[in-house]
Structure 1
Amino acid sequence: MLRFFLIFLAIQAALFTAELTRPVQQAIVIPFTEAIASLSAWLVKLFDSGVIAYSNVIRDQHTGFAVAIEAGCNGVEATIVLIAAMLATPAPWKLKFIGIVSGFLAIQSMNLLRIITLFYLGQWNKTAFDWAHLYIWQALIMLDVLIVFLIWLRFLPSRQETVHAG
């Protein structure tokens, strides 16, 4: 358990450090965040044609209300935590890859739901928006990470199966 924890912390430190560098921000994080804003706006447009996205912002053209998807709101940090946990777990690389890809999709699906609900909640009530943004959705996204990780763990072969197979 200590080995897992130390590897988990080291991987997180490396990935969070890399994420904060200018080249990674410019090449990956900013374009990814803008894509999340565009995808969110596209989904909202299926029901509400008065929504536009530009850069990392989603705006309602009728009310003028907008949300900006900033660092911490794009699902990147939650994905880093999941990746670190999966890489720190002793498991075959194929299963790690499958877990990371499926976990990424689960986190981003939940994050799209988060962005869209906050977009509408913010138009309805600023206090409710702030509370949901800062407390409810933060916890739900990290709970999503935990649940994805625990489900992934259930699909791993037991140590006995690994020993007998090798």
Structure 2
Amino acid sequence: MEPKLYLKIFVKSNRKEIRFFLFFILLFISVQAIHYVVYPFTVPLFVHKLNAEASSMIINLITPEEKSFVENRTIQSGSFKVKVIGGCEGTEGMLLLVAAIWAFNMSIRKKIIGSLVGCFVVYLSNLVRIVVLFYCLKYKPDTFDVVHVYIGQIFIIFIALLFFIVWASKFGGIDGKFFKKV
């Protein structure tokens, strides 16, 4: 068989998957571009208020003796400081999730609900990540780089992927039945 014929058969038998993949890439690039433009205006809310201050509150709930507080996006506890900078707010994981949900075949209502619930799940996961990083840097500083760069990033993307798989399997398809019984 000719290679062109294989390609034609492959494209024909995987049309939905190819459409999803291309639409996902287009959406992800688009929302990243929008994020890049609005990011300077959203930093005070997303980084300072919703991440640094919320993480400090969680730290104080877990260990009240820390008496942590936030000043200029920096979580402080005594002389110890951890700066929460742009990129630490989990937005990329949220954008990946939103692009995947909107590229997938499901009703608009389920896309909206999935995006909102999914972003909230990723946000909560990111708060856990920031709190873990605070304790890592304070009590096990030699593990901070590995936890920050590798484990933390993978954790956020894994949570977004897991949410997408669960949401798509439950609500995928226009009728909510993506996986049909044969």
TM-score > 0.5 by shorter chain: yes
Alignment of 1:128 onto 2:143: yes
Question: Which residue number in structure 2 is paired with residue 8 of structure 1?
Answer: 24
Question: Which residue number in structure 1 is paired with residue 40 of structure 2?
Answer: 26
Question: Which residue number in structure 2 is paired with residue 53 of structure 1?
Answer: 70
Determine the C-alpha separation between the residues in 2 that align with 1:144 and 1:29: 23
Instruction: Kindly state the Cα deviation for residue 60 of structure 1 after the two structures are TM-superposed.
Output: 1.2
Q: 1:160 to 1:106 in 2, by over 3 A?
A: closer
Determine the C-alpha separation between the residues in 2 that align with 1:78 and 1:161: 24
Q: 4+ residue runs of structure 1 moved beyond 4 angstroms?
A: 157-162
3-state secondary structure, aligned to 2:82: strand
Determine the C-alpha separation between the residues in 1 that align with 2:111 and 2:150: 30
3-state secondary structure, aligned to 1:27: helix
Question: Which residue number in structure 2 is paired with residue 145 of structure 1?
Answer: 160
Give the counterpart of 2:104 among 63, 72, 89.
89
3-state secondary structure, aligned to 2:57: helix
Deviations 1:42-94 (A, max 9, x none): 12122325211123211112xx2222222331111100000000010011011
Unaligned runs of 5+ in 1: none
TM norm structure 2: 0.80
Unaligned runs of 5+ in 2: 1-16, 178-182
Structure 1 vs Structure 2 CA RMSD: 1.7
Q: Which moved more, 1:26-35 or 1:52-61?
A: 26-35
Q: Residues 52-131 of structure 1 correspond to what in structure 2 (within 5 A)?
A: 52-61=69-78, 64-131=79-146
3-state secondary structure, aligned to 1:72: coil
Determine the C-alpha separation between the residues in 2 that align with 1:51 and 1:139: 27
Q: 1:2 to 1:44 in 2, by over 3 A?
A: same
Letter in 1 for 2:70: A
Q: Do the aligned partners of 1:37 and 1:55 also contact (CA within 8 Å) in 2?
A: no
Determine the C-alpha separation between the residues in 2 that align with 1:160 and 1:102: 20
Q: 1:160 to 1:58 in 2, by over 3 A?
A: closer
Instruction: Kindly state the Cα deviation for residue 19 of structure 1 after the two structures are TM-superposed.
Output: 1.2
Letter in 2 for 1:78: G
